Amino acid sequence: MDRATEEPEDRRQDEAVRDMVPATAPRYSRRLSDKILLAFHHACDQGDYEVADELLRVLEMMLRRRVLSPDLNRRRSMDSLVAAHERLWYLRHPQEAQK
């Protein structure tokens, strides 16, 4: 058997293995709140403070909700939220950052 005829068979085996991977594998590696925080920083970097402010409101709403399962990262999330508010405030009040 030459190499040309082996490749299609190899590809079919690879596809069969992929089909056997359970559908329950996690699709996303970050929490939604982390992605919103990243979007907030991106909006700040772009100078779109109105969008950054709205993203912070969404993030606050998510963190204020009563959590059904205990979140071990809640303290870190709250610290990140406070830091994000501080960043937005300093971006909107650059003269205060000079003091």
| Average pLDDT of the segment spanning 77-97 | 91
For residue 86, is it within any domain? yes
Q: Which two tokens stand for residue 42?
A: 């991106």
Q: What pLDDT sits at residue 78? A: 86
Give the chain as a DSSP string.
--HHHHHHHHHHHHHHHHHHS-TTS-S-SS-HHHHHHHHHHHHHHHT-HHHHHHHHHHHHHHHHSPPSS--TTHHHHHHHHHHHHHHHHHHH-HHHHT-
Domains held by the chain: number = 1
What are the C-alpha distances in Å from 88 to residues 39, 48, 56, 84? Answer: 13, 10, 9, 6
Q: Which two tokens stand for residue 41?
A: 């920083």
For residue 67, is it within any domain? yes
For residue 77, is it within any domain? yes
| Average pLDDT of the segment spanning 75-89 | 91
pTM: 0.62
Mean pLDDT, the chain, integer = 79
| Average pLDDT of the segment spanning 27-52 | 92
pLDDT surpassing 80 at residue 95? yes
For residue 17, is it within any domain? no
Which has more confidence, 4 or 98? 98
pLDDT surpassing 70 at residue 94? yes
What are the C-alpha distances in Å from 91 to residues 83, 84, 85, 96? Answer: 12, 11, 10, 9
What is the extent of the structural domain holding 71?
A: 32-97
Convert the pLDDT of each residue in 41-72 to its tens digit. Answer: 999 999 999 999 999 999 999 888 866 566 66
For residue 3, is it within any domain? no
